[in-house]
Amino acid sequence: MQYKKFFPLALASLASAQTPSLTDALGSQNSTLSSLNALLASNSDLAKSLSNLRNVTILAPSNNAFSALASDNATTSLLTNSEYLTALFNYHILNGTYHNYTFGNESQFIPTLLTNTTYTNVTGGQVVEARLDNNNVTFFTALKENATIITPNVNFTGGTIHVIDSFLNIPQNISDTFSNANLTAAEGAINTANLTDSVANTHDITIFAPNNDAFNAIGSIVSNLTSDQLTSIVGYHVINGSVNYSTDLQNTTFTAVNGQNITITVLNGTVYANSAKITVPDILLENGVAHVIDEVLNPDNASAAPDTTASSATPAFSGASSASDGVPFTSGVSTATTTFPAATSAGGSAASSSSSGLAMPMKTGAVGAAALFGGAAVIVNL
């Protein structure tokens, strides 16, 4: 009996001894992770905090990812900012152990350890999207920038490590996101309705964001909208209190901020909000997610249904036509000099990869003195 009790304990001890520590696991990949190892060696608090993690997946940027970051003068200073470094590393740590064989063609939206309200207003942790892309496990963030696993399943005592080919970008606020995604009319409409602060500072939102072509298609009626009508229209595109990723958009209804329902319909694999087609799903926001649609939703026509026989989107506003003096609501709205992968299908010009540089996320409305001056304690709460 004593031997029977001892045997499983001996096996457990042997398994534990064979599983390396985080330091040893990272060191075994030093040819590709020497830059990360050097960064951790220079920051003992960060290294200690990471070593104490359990049941996590660490997405470790490769040397090439560090080199790409270093080549961008505008972003090289970010890694010396301890507050940002904390947020950035937390965003590279998935809550749970995910080996590469657990991912398939369907997207998963996995919470990370980035829960600091200075940088995110998503309950349970800001997420990354993960799925197979051309048979490679790829993580999508922010404006569909992506990072691919180049070395999977480097196991350690706290979980597993995947070496990835670029840094993950922390999702930004709505204004910066919409500017960079060429959703400038949607941004301008929110600004004009004086809803920027309320939308940007609300926890857990879902936005159906019409592209610029959609706003242009109703340009003829925009000047006749009252303030209350515009507020209702903008509110009809926003859902408060729940972050609904594409996996949640399955023949259901949501109640928008203005109190009316949006009907989600899936036809032949295409997802519609009322009659509007979702052209770009899952643009991650600091406080939720946005889905780009090809029509402006009309709260006075909530029963509008998809027309799969139409060659192009028909505005949900009766009698509306294109504007003659440019896309409405875009005057005074800044556009980014760099376009991101999400911008092409959102009505923008040709997209370019943006993984070489990191965008500095804007702080949320919850920032106080403790957040501003507490950056020296790196990941101490993990």
Asked if the model's pLDDT at residue 351 lies above 60, the reply is: no
DSSP 311-339: SSPPPSSTT----SSSSTT-TT----SS-
pLDDT, position 18: 80
Same fold, 19-164 and 174-345: yes
Domain boundaries, the chain: 19-164, 174-345
Q: Is the pLDDT of residue 62 over 80?
A: yes
- Return the CATH number of the domain spanning residue range 19-164: 2.30.180.10
Q: In 3-state terms, the chain is what percent helix, strand and coil (to 5)?
A: 35, 20, 45
Q: For residue 5, is pLDDT > 80? A: no
User: Cβ(124)–Cβ(117) under 8 Å?
Assistant: no
Give the span between the Cα atoms of 66 and 54, in whole angstroms. 26
Distance from the Cα of residue 17 to its chain's centroid: 38
Which of 15-29, 131-145, 180-194 shows the lowest mean pLDDT across its residues?
15-29
pLDDT tens readout for residues 256-301: 999 999 999 999 999 999 999 999 999 999 999 999 999 999 999 9
Measured CA to CA, the distance from residue 82 to residue 368 in angstroms comes to 17
How far, in Å, are 133, 148, 177, 303, 314 from residue 113 at the CA level?
Answer: 24, 20, 22, 40, 43
- Tens of pLDDT, residue by residue over 8-20, are 444 444 444 588 9
Q: What is the pLDDT of residue 324?
A: 79
Mean pLDDT score, 338-348: 54
Q: What confidence category does residue 355 fall into, taking pLDDT thresholds of 50, 70 and 90?
A: very low
How far from chain centre, in Å, is Cα 95? 16
User: Residue 179 above 80 pLDDT?
Assistant: yes
Q: Which long-range contacts (CB under 8 A, 24 or more apart) does 109-117 make?
A: 109/245, 109/247, 109/282, 113/56, 113/382, 114/87, 114/90, 114/170, 115/90, 116/86, 116/87, 116/90, 116/371, 117/364, 117/366, 117/371
Measured distance between the N- and C-terminal CA atoms of the chain, rounded to whole angstroms = 41
Average pLDDT, the chain: 85
Name which of 21-30, 171-180, 307-316, 320-329 the model is least confident about: 307-316
Residue 157, pLDDT > 60, answer: yes
At 370 the pLDDT is: 24
According to DSSP, the residues that pair with 372 across neighbouring strands are none
pLDDT in tens, 208-230: 999 999 999 999 999 899 999 99
The average pLDDT across 81-105 equals 93
Task: Answer yes or no: is pLDDT of 124 > 70.
Answer: yes
Per-residue confidence (pLDDT) for residue 83, from 0 to 100: 86
Model pTM? Answer: 0.87
Query: Between residues 312 and 86, which one has the greater pLDDT?
Result: 86
- Is 291 buried (19+), middle (13-18) or exposed (0-12) by CB count in 10 A? buried
| Cβ–Cβ < 8 Å for 273, 251 | no
According to the model, what pLDDT value does residue 8 have? Answer: 43
Q: Pick 311 or 31 by higher pLDDT.
A: 31
Residue 336 has pLDDT above 70, yes or no: no
Structure-token pair, residue 318: 């009766």
CATH topology for 174-345 is FAS1 domain (2.30.180)
Question: What is residue 247's predicted lDDT score, i.e. its pLDDT?
Answer: 96
